[in-house]
Structure 1
Amino acid sequence: MRDSCSTPRFSSIGTGNMNLLFEMEKWPVIIIFLTVQMSDSFSSAQVKEPDSNRMDGNEMNELGASFPPLEIPPLHFVTENNSFVTSQTGSTALVPCIINNVGDGMVSWIRRKDYHLLTVGLTTYSSDDRFQAIHLQHSEDWTLQIKFVQQRDAGLYECQVSSHPPISIFIRLNVVEARGEIQGPSEKYLKPGSGLRLQCSVLQSTEPPSYVFWYHNNRMINYDVDRGINVTTDLVEKMSILTITNADTRHSGNYSCVPSNAQPASTYVHILNGENPAAMQHGGRGLSWLQCSPSSWLLIFSIIIIWC
C-alpha cells in the first residue's frame, strides 16, 4: 500500500513538469545578476563626464569658461637708486631699502668701499655690532641701522636681493658734524647796566638736541635766575637764547653754548668799566708789542743791525 501511494505522486508530475521546476529555480539568480549589472552601468554613466565638457584638452567650468594661470608680480625696489641719506655724528643712521614682491629672495647689505658683507636677512655678519638690519614680519622694509654713526661710516651702501640674477640699488650715506653757533662776533663789549642777548643755533643737525646748556666760565647757568640770567630753549627749532637784563662786571667772562648732540660754541663778553675796548681785545693784547716807546724801537733796530 505505501509503494502504490508514492508511485502515482511522482508519476503525476512527469518529466516536463520537473524541467519546469528546475527552470523556475534559476530565475532568482538571473534577476539578481541583472540588477547588479544595471546598477554598475548607472554608476558608470554618472562618473563619466560628457565629451561636450571638454574642448581641445582644456578643462572647462560649468559655464564653459577657462581661467589663465596667476602671474607672480615682478620684484621692484621702492627706494630710489643712488639716493642720499644724511646723518650726524653720534646719532643713529637709518639707510632705507623698501622692496615689493621680494618673495623667497634674501636681502643683504654690503659696504661698497671695502666690499664688506654687513647683513644677510636679519643676521649681522660684521664684527661691528653697530650694524643691524631692521625688518618687521610681512613688511617690505629692509632698513640698515648704524648706531653711533661716525665720519668713517660715510660712503656707498648696496642693498642686494638674491634673485636670479641678483639685483641691487645703492644708497650714499653722508655724515655731518653738528655744531653750535652764537650769533655775532666772538667778543662782545657792553657798558654796565646794558642788556645782553646771546642766541645759539645748532647747525648741520639732522635731529633736535635733547638739551642746550649754557656755561659762564665753568658754571652751568641755565637756572641762575637769581643772578639776572634767563635761558629760553626751543629744541624743535634747535635754538637757545640767553638774556641778561642789567649786566654788570660780574657778568664778564666766557659764555659757552653746549648742545647735547653738537660741538659747543663760545663767545667772550666784556663789561666795560672805563677800560679801553681796543686794549681789551685778545688780538690787541697779542700784538701789544707794536705799541712800544721810541726808545724801545731804537733798541730793536740796533739789535737787528748788529745781527745782520
Structure 2
Amino acid sequence: MSLRGSSNQQTCLTGFLADGSSSSSGVVLTASSIIHRSHHHSGHAVDSWGDKDTEEGKDAGSRPPNALLPGAMKPLPPEQVFLSENCTVVLAQTGSTPIMHCEVADIGEGTVSWIRRKDYHLLTVGLATYSSDDRFFTAHVRNTQDWALHVRFAQESDAGLYECQVSTHPPTSLFVELQLVEARAELQGAPDKFIKSGSRLRLTCLLRRSTEPPVYVFWYHERSMINYDEGRGVQVRHGRYSSELVIEEARKVDSGNYTCVPSNARPASISVHILNGEEPAAMQHGSKSSSSPSRCIQHLVTCLALVASLRIQLGR
C-alpha cells in the first residue's frame, strides 16, 4: 500500500512543466529520444524521429523532440490527456511495492512511458519493461487507462521524481514523487522490564513509520520463535500496526531477551527479568537512598547523647 498526497509544486516542476516544455534547461527528453540515444551508443543509426539518410530524417534529427512538426496539431493541454492529478507524492516504506498511478484519457495509438528523472533512465514503454532492473514494471491497476508504475522491493535509492509521459506531439508529462521511509518496531518499556514470578507478562510491539500492515509478526525468546508455544501459556494478538505477547503466569524460566520481528520493519528487543520475591537492583538502590535520612538522624541522636554524657562526666 502507498500513501498519496500533494507534492510541493516548486519541487515537482523544477526544470520541466507538466506540458512537457522546459522552464529552465531548454531541453526536454522524451522516451523516444532516450531510446535513440541508447541505440546510438550501441551502434544503431536509426531513431524514431526519422531516417537519418533522408533530408526529412536530418531535419527531424536536428529538431528538438518536443518541437511541432510542420502542419502538426497544437498540443493538448495536460488536463485533456491525464485523468490523474499532477505532482502527487507516494509515500511508501522500503521493502514494499509502491505504486505510482498514471491514468490517461483516450490517446489513440499513443504510448505511455515512465522515466526516472534523476538520471533520465527509461523504465517502461507501454507494458514492456525497458530497464535492465526488472523490479520496475507497468500494470493496469484501476482500469486499462491506468498505466501504473510498480517498484518491487523498493530501496532508499529509488526515492525521487518519476515522469509519466504520453507520446502526444509535443509529449505531455505527469510527475509523481516517490518518498521512502524505513519502518521500525518499538517495544514499550524497553530496554528492561521487571516483574515478579507468577505475575502476568505483557509485551506490546508497535510499528513506527509503517505505511502498510505487516504480513506477520514473529516473537522470539532468545533464539526460539514462541508465537505458538501454548505449553508455556504464550498468547499472541495482532493489531493492524501492533502485536502483543502475553504470558499469564510468568516463571523464572521466562526471563531473558524477547524480540519482536515484523515482516516489513526493523526488529526491536527487550530484556525481561522475572524476580522470585527479590527486588530489582534499581529498586534496592532506591530504598537505600530513601532510608538514608532516617539513619542520619539516628546517628545524630547517638552523637548528641555521647556529647551530653561526656559533659556530665567532665562536670563531676
| TM-score, length-scaled by structure 2 | 0.61
Cα deviation, 1:228-277, whole Å, max 9, x if unaligned, reads: 2211223xx12211111112211110110111121111111111232542
| Match runs of 1:1-308 below 5 Å | 75-135=80-140, 139-234=144-239, 237-273=240-276, 274=278, 276-278=280-282
Residue 83 and residue 138 in structure 1: after superposition, are their counterparts in 2 closer, same or farther (change >3 A)? closer
CA contact (8 A) 1:189 1:277 kept: no
* Counterpart-to-counterpart distance in 1, 2:181 and 2:141: 29
Change beyond 3 A, Cα 1:123–1:228: closer
Deviating more after overlay: 222-231 vs 136-145:
136-145
Match of 2:62 in 1: none
Aligned to 1:207, the other structure's residue is in SS state coil
Question: Any unmatched runs of 5+ in structure 1?
Answer: 1-72, 282-308
Larger Rg computed on CA atoms:
1
Deviation per residue, 1:109-153 (Å, 9 max, x gap) = 100011111111222221101111113898211111111111111
Query: How many residues are aligned here?
Result: 207
Instruction: State the alpha-carbon separation in 1 of the partners of residues 247 and 124 from structure 2.
Output: 54
* 3-state SS in 2 of match to 1:250: helix
| SS of 1:163 mapped into structure 2 | coil
Identity of aligned residues (%): 57
Q: Distance in 1 between matches of 2:218 and 2:250?
A: 20
In 2 relative to 1, CA 216–86 (structure 1 residues): closer, same or farther, beyond 3 Å? same
How far apart are the structure 2 equivalents of 1:280 and 1:140? 69
Q: Name the one with the larger helix percent.
A: 1
Q: Offset of 1:103 from its aligned partner?
A: 2.0
Are the structure 2 counterparts of residues 245 and 108 from structure 1 closer, same or farther at C-alpha, using a change threshold of 3 Å?
same
The 3-state SS of whatever aligns with 1:278 is: helix
In 2, Cα distance between equivalents of 1:149 and 1:187: 34
Distance 1:211 1:136 in 2: 25
- Find the aligned partners of 2:151 and 2:234 in 1 and give their Cα distance: 40
- How far the C-alpha of 1:279 sits from its partner, in A, is 9.1
> Counterpart amino acid of 1:232?
R
The normalised TM-score by structure 1 is 0.63
Higher relative contact order (CA 8 A, sep 6+): 2
Contact preservation (8 Å) 1:256, 1:265: yes
| Closer/same/farther in 2, CA of residues 138 and 219 from structure 1, 3 Å limit | closer
The question of whether the paired residues in 1 share the 8 Å contact of 2:207 and 2:242 is answered with yes
Code of the residue aligned with 1:123 in structure 2: it is: A
Contact 2:115/2:162 (8 A) holds in 1: yes
State the 1:189 CA deviation: 0.9
Q: Is the 8 A contact 2:260 2:268 kept in 1?
A: yes
Q: Which runs of 4+ in 1 moved over 4 A?
A: none
Q: CA deviation at 1:76?
A: 2.5
